[in-house]
């Protein structure tokens, strides 16, 4: 598990509390995020191939190497660095959270490396 506080500065108390919750419940959030992706990625706007859609239905979700990214404003994302999905190449795929609830899919395929 990795937790990144961005931007690099001493985080506020609320961000530290959120980081503690994410660390304590990391396995739970990983399962929730994988399930959320399995449900959402079959929507047409994500453009998955038939083979990828079938892969989403398997017992093992096609996502791995999760990490939490927590921003200084208290928003956060659980990013799966590894996935067999084309849209996850090369930076993975993320699930945005509002508090402890998944709220969106973050397509990182067009992100420019910094």
Q: Mean pLDDT over all residues of the chain? A: 87
114: in domain: no
Question: Does any domain span residue 24?
Answer: yes
Is residue 55 domain-resident?
Answer: yes
The 10s digit of each residue's pLDDT in 63-87 is 899 999 988 888 899 999 999 888 8
Please indicate, yes or no, if residue 112 is contained in any of the structural domains.
no
Domain that holds residue 9: 3-107
Q: Give how far Cα 37 sits from Cα of 40, 58, 68, 100, 114, Å.
A: 5, 13, 16, 15, 26
The total of structural domains in the chain comes to 1
Position 113 in a domain: no
User: What is the model's pLDDT at position 84?
Assistant: 86
* Residue 20 belongs to some domain of the structure: yes
* pTM for this predicted structure: 0.86
Q: What is the mean pLDDT of residues 3-30?
A: 86
**Ramachandran class of 44: left when φ > 0, alpha when ψ lies in -120 to 50, beta otherwise:** alpha
């Amino acid at each position: 598990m990795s937790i990144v506080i961005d931007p690099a500065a001493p985080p506020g108390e609320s961000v530290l509390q959120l980081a503690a919750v994410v660390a304590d419940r990391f396995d739970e959030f990983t399962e929730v995020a994988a399930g959320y992706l399995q449900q959402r990625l079959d929507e047409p706007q994500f453009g998955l191939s038939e083979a990828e859609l079938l892969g989403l239905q398997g017992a093992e979700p096609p996502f791995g190497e999760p990490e939490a990214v927590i921003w200084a404003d208290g928003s956060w994302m659980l990013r799966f660095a590894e996935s067999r999905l084309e849209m996850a190449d090369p930076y993975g795929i993320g699930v945005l959270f509002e508090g402890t609830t998944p709220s969106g899919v973050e397509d990182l395929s067009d992100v420019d490396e910094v």
